[in-house]
Amino acid sequence: MTTTSTLSTVDTSTLRERAAAIKKQVLANLDHYLVETEKQVTAHGGHVVFAQTVDDAVDYILLLAKERGVEHFVGARATNLANDKQALRNEIEALGSDLGSYLAGRARQPDASASYQLERLLAAGIGITGANFVVADAGAICLAEDDDFGRRASAAPKIHVAVAGIEKIIPRTRDLAVFLRLLSARFPGHVSLLSGPRRTDELDGPEEFVLILLDGGRSAILADAAKRELLQCIRCGACLARCPVTPVGQMGALTRLLTPPHTASPLVHASTLCGACGEACPVKIDLPRILVALRHDDRLALGGWRAWLLRGWAFVMLRPRLYEFLGLMARAFWPAAWKGAKPAAKSFRQLWRGKGR
Ligand code: SF4
């Protein structure tokens, strides 16, 4: 089944509140929604596979291909994934844990011209897509794309395999009205709701539909109260667009948590904590707070002299008079520290005090 949505104009702050509430409710009852999703997908003729890791998902797809005698399969980047296990792994990782069609639309292989894609699509026995949302009550996936490659990859091959992180579940079809409206600024193109294999009265669609629900570290994030909110992310890219510092935005920090070794990106330390990402987030994730939590984790993981160095730095920075005294000492007795530059006659603090502040 394929439908294209018309998105109405609704007050954005109300939508953000609603979206955040829906996501929180899903995460608090994820076990229930996973069961409901499986039930509904099965009722629509599809099949659900729970994959603990990306490698589990890859192994499943390779086994499926072997059992069905499939020699060619395509993903969003239109490579021949059957011949390259690492490429398939990268594909699953990107589709299940990251930006889905957002990346797909922007990271086409150089040789992925329209005719190349078409050729691959027609030859493929399995088409692999991600999913922006998994709709529990419909047993369906929702693709929001700025091109229609996902839709074609899901319709042309005999088998459609959709890979989605377990956090992509939303409870009801009507919730799409909220999330698609929030996504629409970034995905102005095609919206498809796909459930199960082709029905007898449908002209196109796969003969077999498999939904792989990927954990890939999400359960661990869910169990961590300080970071659970990250799973509300709908990969809209708004934080990426607003971040004045990092080229991947705070979404990049999240992505690293979802791939082995499941540690935060070093870029969490690059943020100025200006709060722009938190303000931009349509599902109200408190990104600055989570960045601080991730930094805290990193600090706890530090050992040896670096940990002591940071402790010493924090000790001094929390004591302004000590900081000033050490600055004066450095100016007086450690000229080499200035590397030849002549220090100003008065420090900033002295100048500030001179203004009577
Ligand atoms: S703005 Fe929020 S929902 Fe959008 S990508 Fe960033 S963290 Fe995710």
Q: CA 323, CA 330: separation in Å to the nearest integer?
A: 11
Given a contact cutoff of 8 angstroms between Cβ atoms, the answer to whether 178 and 232 are in contact is no
238 CB within 6 A, ligand 1: yes
Output the residue whose Cα is nearest ligand 1's atom 8: 233
Confidence at residue 73, expressed as pLDDT on a 0 to 100 scale: 83
Q: CA 190, CA 146: separation in Å to the nearest integer?
A: 6
Output the residue whose Cα is nearest ligand 1's atom 2: 281
User: pTM for the whole thing?
Assistant: 0.80
Confidence at residue 2, expressed as pLDDT on a 0 to 100 scale: 44
Print the SS3 string covering 292-339: HHHHHHHHHHCCHHHHHHHHHHHHHHCCHHHHHHHHHHHHHHCHHHHC
236 CB within 6 A, ligand 1: yes
23 CB within 6 A, ligand 1: no
Distance 112 CA to ligand 1 centre (A): 28
Domains of the chain: 12-216 (3.40.50.10420), 221-301 (no CATH), 304-354 (no CATH)
Per-residue pLDDT tens listing for the chain (357 residues): 444 444 455 688 899 999 999 999 999 999 999 999 999 999 999 999 999 998 999 999 999 999 999 888 887 654 556 666 777 887 777 776 544 444 444 444 444 457 556 777 778 899 999 899 999 999 999 998 877 778 888 888 999 999 999 999 999 999 999 999 888 766 667 889 999 999 999 888 999 999 999 998 899 999 999 889 989 999 888 888 888 776 555 566 666 677 766 777 777 788 888 888 889 999 999 988 988 888 888 877 777 888 889 889 999 999 989 998 988 888 777 777 666 677 777 878 888 888 755
- C-alpha neighbours within 13 Å on the C-beta side of residue 219: 10
Distance 290 CA to ligand 1 centre (A): 13
Given a contact cutoff of 8 angstroms between Cβ atoms, the answer to whether 296 and 289 are in contact is no
237 CB within 6 A, ligand 1: yes
Containing 51, the helix (H) or strand (E) segment is: strand 47-51
Distance 97 CA to ligand 1 centre (A): 13
Output the residue whose Cα is nearest ligand 1's atom 4: 236
What residues contact residue 119 under an 8 Å CB cut-off, 6+ apart?
none
DSSP state of 203: S
Confidence at residue 349, expressed as pLDDT on a 0 to 100 scale: 81
Confidence at residue 250, expressed as pLDDT on a 0 to 100 scale: 59
* Rounded-to-10 torsion of CA 61, 65, 67, 71: -160
